Amino acid sequence: MEFRASHILVKDRRLAEDLRKRILNGANFEALARDFSTCPSKSKGGDLGWFGEGAMVAPFEQAVKRMSIGSISPVVATQFGFHIIKKSGSR
């Protein structure tokens, strides 16, 4: 199984919660990723491309597996910081 997702990675949980609320209220995910994410994927609007099982850290992968396509995750904590994930595909 492979997945496609975008994310916004920040160091502060409160900022992550605020960004998630903004997205759920209609803000553009890709624009917020470019402006706030600390991941190099920010230059692509947070797009991580396609990845297989085991390619991402466990909490991130588990969240993506549970999500439906097009949905926005709750804030997911990993050793890298706090992620807001948008799932765009699975195959």
Q: Any residues with CB less than 8 A from the CB of 9 and at least 6 apart, and which?
A: 37, 38, 39, 80, 81, 82, 83
Q: How far apart are CA 27 and CA 51, in angstroms?
A: 26
Give pLDDT, residue 84: 98
Q: How far is CA 15 from CA 47, 56, 88, in A?
A: 20, 22, 23
CATH code that applies to domain 2-90: 3.10.50.40
* Per-residue pLDDT tens over the stretch 10-61: 999 999 999 999 999 999 999 999 999 999 999 999 999 999 999 999 999 9
Domain ranges of the chain: 2-90
